[in-house]
Amino acid sequence: MSTSSKEDKEMTPEERLNYLRERGIFVETAEDRRRQKIKDIMNETDVGIDGELYEDLKFVHVPQDESLPIKELSMKVPQNRTPSNAGDVLLTELRPFFSALSNKVDMDLFRDNASKQFGSTDVPTISEDALHRAAEHGLVEVFTLVHPAESNKYTSVNIYLDEVGMLKRLPMNKRASELASKAGFNPAPKFYGDIFLGRVKSKPIVHNVDFRKEDIVSNTEWLRNATMENLEYQAAMNKISGTSELQPAADGENGVAKEELGYSWTQTDEEVEMVIPLKSKDGSTVSLTDAKAGNLNVKFLPKKLRIEFLGEELLSLVLFDSIDPDGSTWTLDSANEHVSLIVTCEKANAISWPRIRY
């Protein structure tokens, strides 16, 4: 087999796509088509009917892809807000966007997360068809960065996200988490996929008001005040609930190993550590000498890990996010009478992973 064909076989789909495009080959992916559909959706404008006057409402789009710019968008809303047209219009208007991104839901991931929240015996019985229908319809979740209070004239600042973004295996939105951190949330929540930022006044009636791109910078008044307000709010909620965090720890965090088939793993924001017990072909334990003589081969790729032992593939993983192959290492450990391979992957992005597999 030629060297080029070997390299092509080891490429991830993303690396192969970049390889082709760098050589002038036009490739349109399903993601490209989804992005175009999203652009069409976000460029739609509402027109006034029955003589009603409309005005532009400003809000902000933050893509999960950090190579894409943060954009200020606008939509038409009635100028005169009454109880009949009151409410947060973004909850409805953003549904097509989240539906267009993806409607595939990972049921295994749903069951894993449900068992963590409800316990293994109390997992809600929701059919796969029901979740897929909900995803197709578009589910908008609101995370409140600033709660309405008298001090801010009862004005909240919200993040709007795909409610089933994690179950769709959408990538993490690092910029959204960084903004929540600046607003005083510690630890910062995890957001998946693209998000939107908007502002809502709750008095005298609930209605949207402008949130602009310049409102994101760290020295704006709302963000300076949010830090102290949310730290106080979090402390009060933690006191009531008896917890010290806004969210449960992700798998592998706080030194608690997540058990997988054939290995376990832990993580920090900077790295992932895997422990893989080594065994002979008949399943018996091996000595440190045997392990060193077993042609152990660990290959680090930007989004993939491949391990061979005794001439066979021991583990092949497409990772949740990118790693730095040059900063990743492995060693052997025989402290507990069983020889284990310890693999340490340096994360390319300093974020928590909700799972180790893509």
What are the DSSP calls for 160-202, one per residue? EEETTTTTTTPPB-HHHHHHHHHTT-SSPPP-BS-EEEEEEE-
Provide φ and ψ at 156, rounded to 5°: -100, 155
pLDDT of residue 1: 46
pLDDT of residue 275: 95
pLDDT of residue 237: 67
Tens of pLDDT, residues 63-86: 999 999 999 999 888 877 777 667
Contact 158, 148 (CB under 8 A): no
The low-confidence residues of the chain, meaning pLDDT below 70, are 1-10, 26-27, 30-52, 84-85, 101-138, 229-237, 241-249, 336
Q: Which two tokens stand for residue 313?
A: 């593939």
Q: How far apart are CA 354 and CA 193, in angstroms?
A: 13
pLDDT of residue 248: 59
Which of 180, 97, 96, 94 is CA-nearest to residue 143?
A: 180
pLDDT of residue 276: 94
pLDDT of residue 294: 75
Tens of pLDDT, residues 132-144: 566 666 688 999 9
Q: Which two tokens stand for residue 100?
A: 């267009």
Q: How far apart are CA 104 and CA 109, in angstroms?
A: 12
What is the DSSP-derived secondary structure letter of residue 303? Answer: T
Q: How far apart are CA 65 and CA 170, in angstroms?
A: 11
Tell me if residue 234 falls in helix, strand or coil.
helix
Enumerate the β-bridge partners of residue 341.
276, 332
pLDDT of residue 35: 64
pLDDT of residue 96: 85
Q: How far apart are CA 254 and CA 270, in angstroms?
A: 13
